[in-house]
Chain A
Amino acid sequence: MIKTQGLCHVYQPGSPFEKHAIEDISLHIQKGEFVGIIGHTGSGKSTLIQHFNALEMPTSGKVYVDGVDTSAPKADLRLIRRKVGLVFQYPEHQFMEETVRKDIAFGPSNLRLSQRDIEECVLEAAAMVGLRPELLDKSPFDLSGGEKRRAAIAGVLAMRPGVLVLDEPTAGLDPAGRDELLTRIKEMHENGLTVVLVSHSMEDIAKTAQRIIVLNEGRIAMDGSTAYVFSHADELGAMGLSVPQVSVVMALLRKQGVSIPDAVYTVDQAKRVIIGLYNKAHKE
């Protein structure tokens, strides 16, 4: 679906503010994957994902979306942006219409669909993020924080992208709003959407992603399954990142001699393992 080769991006080249944001990034995201991207502040996560839908162009290297080179002169950028839906950080800061319905319809109407198709896209997207239909005729500015965030994500989903890329979708939400949103995103993935999730929260990534790409100072530091990445707590620590708290607890238990399988990093998994151990101990 998305492939990059030796991708580099330099901001403001030639000025005193020149900044090599990402360097030599080669990755391949396949259809149906759920990829988490983690990295320290300023490691280039947002820069990287903006290349996925051709909002930023590589300074050198290539990005291919469905085999199409985004920097080719005749590449259809709007088609690429439709295929790869990108949700920015704090997307609710960008509401522009007086009702939620119209705001969600912004994307589909840019595709010049018929009124009926637009309406269908809007309702479908609202349902995907779990936005109650009666909220659609409210002003987006009157929604709660979690609802705002979901409405903004619906605005991107309404274009029916094949890949959904989210930049810190849970930032600034309360725990309930967070869980609800993550559950929704997971559901979408189960229904066939390819998802790329950028997050600072290891817990969020642990709950959702199958594969993790770790960025450090603009380069890929690790790329592997969730279990693989979270088993390298020391390397992550050296980059200023941590593993999920549950992993830490499990590692400590392992050190105490308790036999705990690998790849336990969410509360749910830990619960199951501990109950299993308890039951076993009871029987004996």
Chain B
Amino acid sequence: MIQEKLKRDLAELASTLDGKLLRLEELPIDRKLTRFLLSRNLLKTKPALTKSFLRTRCMRCGNETPRKFAEIPCQKCNKAHFYCRNCMDMGRLMECDVLYYWNGPSAVWSKQKNPCSWEGTLTRAQEKAALRIKEAITNREKEILTWAVCGAGKTEMLFPGISKALEEGMRICLATPRADVVRELKPRLEKAFRHIPIQALYGGSKDKHKQAQLIIATTHQLLRYEKAFDVMIIDEVDAFPFHADPALPFAQKRSAKRNCTTIYLTATPREDLKAEIRRGKLTHVFVPVRYHGHPLPVPKLKMWHSLNKELPKLQSSNPLLYWLLNRQNPKRQLLVFVPTVERAGQLKTPLTNLMLKHKLIHHPNQLGSVHASDPDRERKVVSFREKTLKVILTTTILERGVTFPSVDVAILDAGHDVFDEAALVQIAGRAGRNSNDPTGEVLFFHDGKTEAMLAAIYAIKQMNKRGGF
């Protein structure tokens, strides 16, 4: 009897702790149990920072850059220690800190029967990719890239593969760069896998201590895992910050189990991935058509000579106004992208006044602006979705991950450095997302063409061509 109970308790603990790498304060068990598990070698520790002759390394985020460490006087040890400045938002780690990991029997996850409760159907293009992804999981392939245009319906394409993994008793993590996207995906996956416990992890989420076979997380949260997942789905693999922060690829690699299958998703692969595809080093499946079967809107370039001089005030007649007055479908909502937060702040009032004057909006509250550190971002996006906001003035923060049914898109100063090829393709991909309004206008206002603009238009046309248009 006691043996049985012990076994059950151990299994329970394993499913809570196996695959995690945590600070003492993060352990979901009390101190007494922690001490007991440590004494039985079921829980082990390793130093948070390692120091060798030449370099210091953070064992949580992999940081080795000297300037990303600093010194702090430690009260406990009475001397100065290094601490890692790179992963501080998950709690400061210094030299005398340790990270805890499970050393008992591995967690066993259920082999779920008929886990998928989704009743929709996939288009032919989606199905082809879905089957390929499922095959990759079945065969335990190391990695596969799914290159699907904006609006291809990539989440649904994952369902057969996720089902297969759940049937096999695998643990799955879907990682995406933005918390917004985690919040959006959670209800969709809960509907599609009604009986499967799903955990959503992002900074500030309340799901932290649950244990689930299927996890949706911001890529950042992977820093708390080690050898945890059989299947990893890395969404928007080209996106900031996954692309920019070396800690994230490090965490991704570490949180994978040895036989893990990694599925990368992107609409705009960076040059390095494309090169790997060309060299035959990276298997990929391409989805060139949107789920509704219509081609991608091709952006139009609009020259605006004195753009940088005229933008701050927006007084006289200008190319933007001319377009605004002559849109094909004036009922569509409007996304206006600008390169910087300063520009958004500067333009808000003049653009509101201009649109009021020409009766394009009827109240100043119909135009809102958002940026990355805007505390009201979530609410404004909801108002736009509910159509109380007609126009959003935004930085690149809304370039991906968010979907609105019927919008036109304009970029002001499309020649700015922040608008690289991937950003431009993503922004253009905001238009024509819904089958009720599958087209939409995309305008790049600029004061001189850039490589990026031309490359983006070329890429979009190429994809349409591959899609048979």
- Whether A and B are associated in the same complex: the answer reads no
Interface residues, chain A, CB within 8 Å of chain B? Answer: none
